[in-house]
């Protein structure tokens, strides 16, 4: 179990949700299919998950994509970012997901740890601005089919 104290930006709580750490920044408009809740570059679902992304980039239309995902019940549960701007916060407010900010470098050890795990990882993210906490636990082995 790894725990991190973060800065809470938008309130929300996710209990033991699948963790998805994206390699780069996230452009909700283009990278995510709002009809399916799928992150296109990796072909994986973001629905109900806790995402770790470096930042929100690209289109300023992102909050509407977040809103559409929420109305379809396909949005993420929570997002942890390293760089934050108004597009990220507005996306969380309209998308109804928790948003927390990590300091630069704070996530490196966690991400390296997650990558070493053979099994899937679950994240518990509680964001109560101004504070937030992220706890991640990974299974030693992949679950049985």
Partner 1 sequence: MYLTKLEERMLSGEMGEAVRIAMKLLVSVGEALGAERLVPIAHAHVSGVSYDNIGRYGLEFLESLAASGARFAVYTTFNPAGVALGVDAPINTPERVAMQARILRALVRMGARFTATCAPYRVRRPRFGEHLAWGESSAVAVANTLFGARTNREGGPVALAAAIAGRTYYWGLHLDEERVPDVRVRLQARVRSELEAGLVGFIVAKHYPSSKPYVDRFPSDERLVISLAAAGAAQGAIPMWFLEGVSPEARPPPPGAEKLEVKRDDLVAALEEVSCANPEDAEVLFLGCPHYTTADLERAATEALAALRGLKRVREVWVAAPPSSAIRLKEALLRALAGRGPRVRVLPGACVVVTDRGRLPAPIATNSVKTAIYLCKSGVPAALVGGAGALDEVKA
Q: Which amino acids are annotated catalytic? A: 59
15 near partner 1, rule: CB under 8 A: no
**Strand ranges of the sheet holding 38-39, from the earlier edge strand across to the other edge:** 32-33, 38-39, 44-45
> Is the CB of residue 10 less than 8 Å from the CB of residue 99?
yes
Q: Which is nearer to partner 1, 57 or 111 (CB)?
A: 57
One residue of 4, 9, 14, 53 binding partner 1 per CB under 8 A: 9
57 near partner 1, rule: CB under 8 A: yes
CA distance 57 to 79: 14
The minimum distance between CB 72 and partner 1, in angstroms, equals: 8
CA distance 82 to 80: 7
Q: Which is nearer to partner 1, 86 or 113 (CB)?
A: 86
Nearest 5°: the CA angle 57, 20, 59 is: 15
Question: Where in 71-110 is the site for partner 1 (CB under 8 A)?
Answer: 71, 83-87, 89-94, 99
């Amino acid at each position: 179990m790894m725990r991190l104290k973060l800065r809470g930006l938008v309130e929300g709580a996710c209990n033991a949700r699948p963790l998805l750490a994206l390699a780069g920044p996230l452009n909700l408009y283009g990278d995510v299919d709002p009809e399916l809740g799928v992150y296109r570059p990796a072909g994986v679902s973001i629905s109900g998950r806790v995402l770790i992304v470096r930042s929100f980039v690209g289109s300023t239309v992102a909050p509407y994509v977040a809103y559409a995902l929420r109305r379809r019940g396909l949005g993420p549960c929570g997002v942890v970012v390293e760089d934050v701007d108004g597009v990220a916060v507005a996306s969380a407010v309209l998308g109804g997901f928790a948003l927390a900010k990590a300091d630069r470098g704070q996530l490196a050890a966690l991400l390296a740890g997650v990558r070493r795990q053979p099994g899937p990882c679950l994240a518990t993210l509680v964001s109560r601005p101004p504070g937030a906490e992220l706890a991640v636990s990974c299974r030693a082995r992949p679950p049985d089919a």
